[in-house]
């Protein structure tokens, strides 16, 4: 059931790229302001599609999406950019913009009449570069960075946009361990300190379990489960949705999951476990 006062409210959303196939079937959920939602699921379940629907890149076949109590279609490009910033997966650099130029673009809608930024804009951008640890290559062209460094730049750009909602599509895809954790720490602190609402599509269910308030688990069969990570993420669920057996364990408040295939060293651990129960 959709709850009231969510900053993002999705009701009975259905979408398919062609009339014949349907990717998302009758999905409903709400994201509370200041909440960190992780969207998880196997490839093809529609995670990125859902994200694109939320930021109005795609139009649903049926159902409604409301951002801050107004239908998402009612927002103009600038108004929507005021509410949400998006960090996407793909990136095709055509011209050699530098890192700081890229991040400064997030402030475009605040530029003055002549099209230049103000001191306030510059401070916001500097801060965004600082927190994403990208200040040291501020003047380097974007294309000369590694994929992981580039990803942080785009996260910095989204932060510089200074919005209440942040949508991220696999933000830790190319990052090394240190930066994976750093980014999730950064996102969490943005949530806690600035009350940002975060919706992140992620493959990393362990980090999701540790950092997110709620999880949306999408399956390729159109299934959709929404709730706290503790309820949603269990060994049985993950095996059903992802199609791979996992070994579930408890850390403290959260669980961790290790996928074990046929030839994995500890494969037999799963066979011995009662369904859904945490293992020692």
Partner 1 sequence: MPDASDRSFLQIEQMAELLTPNKLAVRIVLGLLVLGAVMFLCSLIGTESVSLKAVFAGGAKAPAVNPDYEIFVRVRIPRIVLGAVVGAALASSGVVFQALLRNPLADPYILGISSGAGLGAMIAVISGLSWTLFGRSPIAIFAFIGALGTVWLVWLIGRLTGKFHLTGLLLAGVVVNAFFSAVIMFLTSVAKAEQVYATMFWLMGNMMEEDFVVLWTAGGCIVAGTVGLFYLGPQLNALSFGEEDARSIGVNTGRTRAAAFAIAAFMTAVAVSISGLIGFVGLIVPHGVRLVLGPDHRQLLPLSAIVGAIFLVAADTIARIVVAPAQLPVGVVTAIIGGPFFLLLLVRYSRSVGWLK
Strands 62-67 and 70-71, sheet pairing: antiparallel
Residue 129 near partner 1 by CB under 8 A: yes
Sign of the four-CA dihedral 32, 84, 93, 15: positive
Residue 85 near partner 1 by CB under 8 A: yes
Stretch of residues binding partner 1 (CB under 8 A), selected from 141-149, 201-209, 228-236, 268-276: 141-149
Q: Catalogue the E-assigned strands of 164-243.
A: 165-169, 197-201, 214-218, 224-227
Residue 81 near partner 1 by CB under 8 A: yes
Stretch of residues binding partner 1 (CB under 8 A), selected from 27-35, 63-71, 132-140, 173-181: 132-140
> Nearer to partner 1 by C-beta: 153 or 209?
153
Stretch of residues binding partner 1 (CB under 8 A), selected from 12-20, 30-38, 41-49, 122-130: 122-130
Stretch of residues binding partner 1 (CB under 8 A), selected from 11-19, 28-36, 133-141, 233-241: 133-141
Q: Which listed residue (91, 236, 243, 276) binds partner 1 by CB under 8 A?
A: 91
Residue 28 contacts residue 1 (beta carbons within 8 Å) = yes
Q: Catalogue the E-assigned strands of 81-163.
A: 84-87
C-alpha dihedral, 89 to 197 to 39 to 72, nearest 10°:
-80
> Nearer to partner 1 by C-beta: 111 or 256?
111
Sign of the four-CA dihedral 232, 234, 240, 242: positive
> Who's near 138: CB < 8 A, 6+ residues apart?
98, 99, 100, 129
Contacts with partner 1, 161-200, as mask; x by CB under 8 A:
x---------------------------------------
Residue 78 near partner 1 by CB under 8 A: yes
Coil, helix or strand at residue 71: strand
Measuring CA to CA, which residue among 100, 87, 159 is closest to residue 128? 159
Stretch of residues binding partner 1 (CB under 8 A), selected from 17-25, 123-131, 258-266, 268-276: 123-131
Kindly list the residues in this chain that would bind partner 1 in the complex (CB under 8 A): 52, 55, 57, 76-78, 80-82, 84-86, 88, 91-98, 100-102, 104-106, 108-109, 111, 114-117, 122, 126, 129-130, 135-136, 138-139, 141-144, 161
């Amino acid at each position: 059931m959709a709850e009231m006062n969510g900053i993002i409210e999705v009701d009975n959303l259905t979408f398919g790229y062609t009339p014949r196939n349907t990717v998302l079937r009758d999905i409903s959920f709400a994201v509370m302001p200041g909440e960190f939602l992780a969207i998880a699921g196997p490839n093809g379940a529609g995670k990125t599609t859902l994200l694109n629907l939320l930021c109005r890149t795609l139009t649903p076949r049926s159902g409604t999406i409301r951002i801050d109590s107004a239908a998402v279609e009612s927002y103009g490009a600038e108004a929507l950019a005021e509410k949400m910033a998006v960090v996407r997966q793909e990136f095709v650099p055509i011209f050699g913009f530098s890192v700081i130029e890229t991040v400064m673009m997030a402030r475009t809608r605040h530029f003055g009449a002549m099209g230049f930024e103000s001191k306030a804009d510059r401070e916001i951008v500097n801060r965004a570069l600082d927190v994403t640890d990208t200040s040291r290559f501020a003047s380097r062209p974007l294309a000369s960075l590694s994929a992981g460094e580039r990803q942080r730049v785009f996260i910095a750009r989204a932060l510089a946009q200074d919005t209440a909602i942040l949508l991220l599509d696999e933000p830790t895809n190319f990052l090394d361990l240190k930066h994976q954790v750093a980014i999730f720490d950064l996102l969490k602190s943005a949530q806690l300190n600035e009350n940002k609402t975060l919706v992140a599509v992620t493959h990393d269910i362990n980090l999701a379990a540790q950092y997110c308030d709620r999880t949306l688990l999408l399956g390729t069969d159109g299934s959709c489960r929404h709730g706290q990570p503790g309820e949603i993420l269990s060994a049985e669920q993950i095996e059903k949705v992802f199609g791979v057996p996992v070994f579930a364990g408890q850390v403290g408040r959260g669980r961790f999951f290790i996928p074990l295939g046929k030839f994995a060293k500890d494969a037999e651990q799963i066979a011995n476990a009662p369904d859904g129960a945490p293992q020692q």
